Amino acid sequence: MEPDRCSFCKGRLIKGETEFIVRVGSELLVIRDIPAYVCEECGEAYYTPDISRRIDRIMERFHESKLLVHPIAAGELGMREDVGILA
């Protein structure tokens, strides 16, 4: 059964792709090009059970250091830091 409405905003879901971003300790893992049903209104993504299992397997291999991942450039900023734009 395909989902058709977002459980958050009730927007319509369409087949598309998304990315999964997770922090694991001090590392950031990004899984790109994930097939999903994506809400047209708020962007919330919904995965099929098969895709969820595949993400779980990737996460297991990442925790076991058995994945060859490409490094990415990323910046991190906390809202509590004074960066001169929040005033």
Q: Where are the chain's structural domains?
A: 1-74
The region that residue 48 occupies, defined by phi over 0 for left and psi between -120 and 50 for alpha, beta otherwise, is beta
Query: What is the model's pTM?
Result: 0.81
Q: CA-CA distance, 55 to 61, in Å (whole number)?
A: 10
Which tens digits make up the pLDDT trace of 18-36? 999 999 888 889 999 999 9
Which tens digits make up the pLDDT trace of 54-63? 999 999 999 9
Which tens digits make up the pLDDT trace of 35-84? 999 999 999 999 999 999 999 999 999 999 999 999 888 888 777 766 66
What is the domain class of 1-74 according to CATH?
Answer: alpha beta
∠ at Cα 57 (33, 4), nearest 5°? Answer: 50
Q: What is the pLDDT of residue 1?
A: 66
Q: What is the pLDDT of residue 26?
A: 84
Residue 11, C-beta contacts closer than 8 angstroms, at least 6 positions apart: 5, 39, 40, 41, 42
Q: CA-CA distance, 87 to 59, in Å (whole number)?
A: 39
